[in-house]
Amino acid sequence: MQIEIIKLSPFENATGRVARLLSHLILAKYGYNLRGFLVLEDYYRADIVTLRNVSKSIELHGSATIWLEYFSLGVVNGMQKVINNIQNTTPSSIISQSYWKLNERLEKIISFLENPNSKITNKDVQKQFGVSQITASRDLTKLTSMGILLSHGKGRSITYTKI
């Protein structure tokens, strides 16, 4: 699709950008929404001569195989950069260390849920620790957002279990 848009050249300027945008849209449609992570433009700009030669090869050979290999290599290179960025990013650079510290009440909630069949509700936390509804809700929400608890249900009937 991208190479066909480039060959048609429907715009005086930005034909390449529109073609790349369509590539991203097609990838997103099939579950590869990489916008913001995968930057194919960097790959193309790194070697414009190869990009032009690969584009011309479609007309010369009547086959898009070379273009598909080139495009796929760009996706692989871009994904490798994303993986490297993720591996080189420490949790402390994303979320402050204080976020991961648990107060005594949160630790007790977790210990209460050590039994695999145990559940806890907002009301249980209120009664057990003598806290308000909003405090109980904040505690349970924090543990859920940290990936420690899993919520089940909706509204006042929400129960929480340990993951």
Asked whether residue 53 falls in the same domain as residue 126, the answer is no
Range of the domain at 84: 2-89
Domain-ending residue, one of 37, 60, 89: 89
Summary mean pLDDT of the chain: 83
Asked whether residue 80 falls in the same domain as residue 103, the answer is no
Asked whether residue 8 falls in the same domain as residue 55, the answer is yes
Taking the C-alpha atoms of residue 106 and residue 144, their distance in angstroms, rounded to an integer, is 11
Statement: residue 115 has pLDDT above 90: no
Per-residue pLDDT of 63-92, as tens digits, reads: 888 888 988 898 888 888 888 887 887 665
Per-residue pLDDT of 31-66, as tens digits, reads: 777 667 777 778 888 888 988 888 888 888 888 888
So what's the pLDDT on residue 120? 94
- CATH code of the domain in which 142 resides: 1.10.10.10
Statement: residue 142 has pLDDT above 70: yes
Three-state secondary structure string covering the chain? CHHHHHHHCCCCCCHHHHHHHHHHHHHHHCCCCCCCCCCHHHHHHHCHHHHHHHHHHHHHHCCCHHHHHHHHHHHHHHHHHHHHHHHHCCHHHHCCHHHHCCCHHHHHHHHHCCCCCCCEEHHHHHHHHCCCHHHHHHHHHHHHHCCCEEEECCHHHCEEEEC
Asked whether residue 110 falls in the same domain as residue 79, the answer is no
Asked whether residue 83 falls in the same domain as residue 141, the answer is no
Taking the C-alpha atoms of residue 13 and residue 75, their distance in angstroms, rounded to an integer, is 24
Number of domains in the chain: 2
Structure tokens at 148: 């420690």
Asked whether residue 12 falls in the same domain as residue 76, the answer is yes
At 160, is the pLDDT very low, low, confident or very high (cuts 50, 70, 90)?
very high
Asked whether residue 8 falls in the same domain as residue 85, the answer is yes
Q: Above pLDDT 90, what percent of the chain?
A: 25
So what's the pLDDT on residue 109? 92
- What strand order describes the sheet that includes 149-152? 120-121, 159-162, 149-152
Taking the C-alpha atoms of residue 148 and residue 152, their distance in angstroms, rounded to an integer, is 13
Instruction: Give the mean model confidence (pLDDT) for residues 114-129.
Output: 91
Integer-rounded Cα radius of gyration of the chain: 26
Asked whether residue 58 falls in the same domain as residue 80, the answer is yes
Statement: residue 94 has pLDDT above 90: no
Asked whether residue 121 falls in the same domain as residue 82, the answer is no
Asked whether residue 153 falls in the same domain as residue 101, the answer is yes
Domain-ending residue, one of 41, 66, 89: 89
So what's the pLDDT on residue 5? 67
At 7, is the pLDDT very low, low, confident or very high (cuts 50, 70, 90)?
low
pTM comes to 0.48
Asked whether residue 101 falls in the same domain as residue 76, the answer is no
- Among residues 114, 134, 112, the alpha carbon closest in space to that of 122 is found at 134
Instruction: Give the mean model confidence (pLDDT) for residues 93-106.
Output: 71
Domain-ending residue, one of 47, 68, 89: 89
